[in-house]
Structure 1
């Protein structure tokens, strides 16, 4: 009986992945744990430290570099793998009759937009009852920390900054602003976490383990720097001071957890199987939409177009910010050559 050479090459069942270099694969759990956690924690700890004097230009670099990393991750490391996974020959013919990966990405973008829109409208209406006005994008101010999900709170009856600050501590309006920030960063981290777990599971059973390990270490460290720089610039009351640290540690744990899970099921888990292709393709597509919306709208647009400080900045400062962002995007996109 003639055999189909394509069928011989494609393993669509469980079957398991590569089981070589087991010791190094176990060690990779701790290697990536250190790299990803350090990348995410450094901006948070450096900004809080009284003895580690990091120049503001370095924080700016981390922030804009991170924005570029997040955008490149969405396109190169999420959307492209989603297209590949949902276009796998292991899937039923119906999967190839429609661009499901792009449709899911589109769905994710509009879902995040609608949720944010409803949340801001609800929050603004609630604050209005307290005699306060909340501008979620800080268009009336110039500070780089008063845009995006942080927003701006203005007391309509007492306009001075001192009065606003004196009433903000322990006031419901401060809590609303804090929750807006937490929701914004949680959305970003949710997309990153899904992606990181899938990376870990794939790394645990991939045949080209050594090359992929090096790439993933850089990938997770750069991505951690992007997430950490956003966590570092959250402006929260002392009640929520634990949020940035928790977010950084959670990010650092996700890929090692994925590796451990992959090693635990290495005899049955095949990343190219029908089920795995559908799950990873759907998750990557949804995560791509989350990071695209967050990267382009919450980060890029608000860091540049809606930021009066940046719009009025010198050409040198603008070029520095753009260069940092493009460097992050370029390096992350380059890593897509290997993983």
Structure 2
């Protein structure tokens, strides 16, 4: 009876086709580009049509929450089990230290903490470098004009826009890292059985990543 390692090697050899893989990668560039543009543009177009209406804010929140759920589910439901399976491979799991510690979970935890650290550091920078001077200038202007209520709404809008710009930048950092890692993985692969479903998954994923980022961009007021 053949061992699992021999069976997996035979299956990988049967799916290996460099010419077909290159053709699929070329197609994937166009597919991922189109789906990314479609996902990114839809909230921005929605903002241009429905801005100021009651349904606008609710629709953007729903889009952003759904997109965030897709990103999290892809990471924790799709990628993480594959990472555990890869590190449990019979060629890897029999060696120290891979057999002694769940490194896939450790990397996931470190990535989540790093994302939180970037968000906290960026928030602190925005509050100290941009928000405080804006508030001080508006207070001085209000005192000089003899009125204290005129700048409250503008100040609140400015804070919201700063926060949304920060969120969009942090999200873009995460999307860039994810895209580079997945792109390098697919670029190195010559296995057409892996590339075909990966292109479909990436197209679906990029739509919702773009929708999440587009929602942040629309709320941040970027031109």
- Normalised to the residue count of structure 1, the TM-score between the two structures is 0.47
Compared CA separation, residues 124 and 194, structure 1 to 2 (3 A) = closer
Q: Which residue of structure 1 lines up, in the alignment, with residue 171 of structure 2?
A: 188
Q: Residues 206 and 185 of structure 1: is their aligned pair in 2 closer, same or farther, counting only changes over 3 Å?
A: farther
Kept in 2, the 8 Å contact 1:155–1:164? The answer is: no
SS in 2 for 1:93: coil
1:221 aligns with 2:222: no
How far apart are residue 6 of structure 1 and its match? 4.5
CA contact (8 A) 1:131 1:156 kept: no
TM-score (norm 2): 0.66
- Partners of 1:131 and 1:28 in 2: how far apart? 45
Q: Where does 1:111-190 land on structure 2 (aligned, <5 Å)? A: 111-121=114-124, 123-125=126-128, 130=133, 132=135, 162-164=150-152, 180-190=163-173
User: Cα–Cα, structure 1 residues 122 and 194, in superposed 2: closer, same or farther, change >3 Å?
Assistant: closer
Pair 1:21–1:218, CA change in 2 (3 A): same
C-alpha change, 1:229 and 1:99, in structure 2 (3 Å) is: same
Aligned to 1:102: 105
1:39 shift after superposition: 0.9
Structure 2, unaligned runs of 5 or more: none
- CA shift in 2, pair 1:66/1:202, >3 Å: same
Whether contact under 8 Å (1:62, 1:226) holds in the other structure is yes
Quick check: which one's helix share is greater?
2
C-alpha distance after superposition, 1:121-172 (max 9, x if no partner): 4554557964949xxxxxxxxxxxxxxxxxxxx9599595532456799xxx
C-alpha separation in 1, matches of 2:24 and 2:128: 55
CA offsets 1:246-295 (integer angstroms, 9 cap, x no match): xxxxxxxxxxxxxxxxxxxxxxxxxxxxxxxxxxxxxxxxxxxxxxxxxx
State the distance in 2 between where 1:88 and 1:190 align.
Answer: 31
8 A contact 1:18–1:207 mirrored in 2: yes
Q: Which position in structure 2 is the counterpart of 1:307?
A: none
Q: Helix, strand or coil: the match of 1:64?
A: helix
Deviation digits for residues 275-316 of structure 1 (CA, Å, limit 9, x no counterpart) = xxxxxxxxxxxxxxxxxxxxxxxxxxxxxxxxxxxxxxxxxx
Give the alignment's Cα RMSD to 1 decimal.
Answer: 4.2
Change (3 A) 1:93 1:49: same
1:69 aligned residue: 70
Relative to structure 1, the CA distance from residue 194 to residue 127 in structure 2 (aligned partners, 3 Å threshold; closer, same or farther) is closer
**Mapping for residues 286-305 of structure 1, pairs under 5 Å:** none
Query: Are residues 8 and 101 of structure 1, via their aligned partners in 2, closer, same or farther at CA, if it must alter by over 3 Å?
Result: same
Q: Residue 123 of structure 2 contacts residue 166 of structure 2 at CA under 8 Å; is this kept in 1?
A: no
Partner-residue secondary structure (3-state), 1:96: coil
Asked if structure 1 preserves the Cα contact closer than 8 Å seen for 2:39 and 2:207, the reply is: yes
Mapped to 2, the partners of 1:196 and 1:106 lie a distance apart of 19
Q: CA deviation at 1:98?
A: 0.9
Give the number of the structure with larger relative contact order, counting CA–CA contacts within 8 Å between residues 6 or more apart: 2
Larger-Rg structure: 2
